[in-house]
Structure 1
Amino acid sequence: MIRLPAVLEITGLAKSTLYKKMAGGLFPRSVKLGPRACAWIGSEINGWVADQIAASRLNQLESAITHETRCDPPYALGLIKK
């Protein structure tokens, strides 16, 4: 189980952002440990981080592919002169 300060450190999120994401279903929910204590399941936090990394890498790949296959005018490719 991971307490809030560690979750914030691991994810790099601000406390308010973390709770907004939880409310929107975009972040794992905490587990109540007692009347005033909660924690998160470590494997769920690690999974969320891994998902964020994978999504970032996919976006980078898609951007690179889109950039390379963009329709440039023939003169930009050196095929004809202006």
Structure 2
Amino acid sequence: MTARIYQRPKNAMQSGKSRTDQWVLEFAPAEARRPDPLMGWSGSGDTQVQVVLTFASADEAKAYADKYGIAAHVSPVPPKRLKLQSYADNFR
């Protein structure tokens, strides 16, 4: 059972930064998704992918994974790049 630890990105559809300080531990799918023969929806018998754990820091998430023997990969936070532009640049 493997997992991925990452920090939530900012929602691109809204200007708020809610829950971006949380770190998330998600499990990797253990089996492939397949279409349901009756309805055609895709799904699998793997219920671990539904589990999403949140932590206050990456160290807490890594400690949790180590405590329960979960092989976890910590994804680093990409650097934030600001595009400084003035309003007058729209009319050049």
Return the TM-score normalized by structure 1.
0.24
Q: Which is richer in helix?
A: 1
Return the TM-score normalized by structure 2.
0.22
Larger Rg: 1
Q: Which is richer in strand?
A: 2
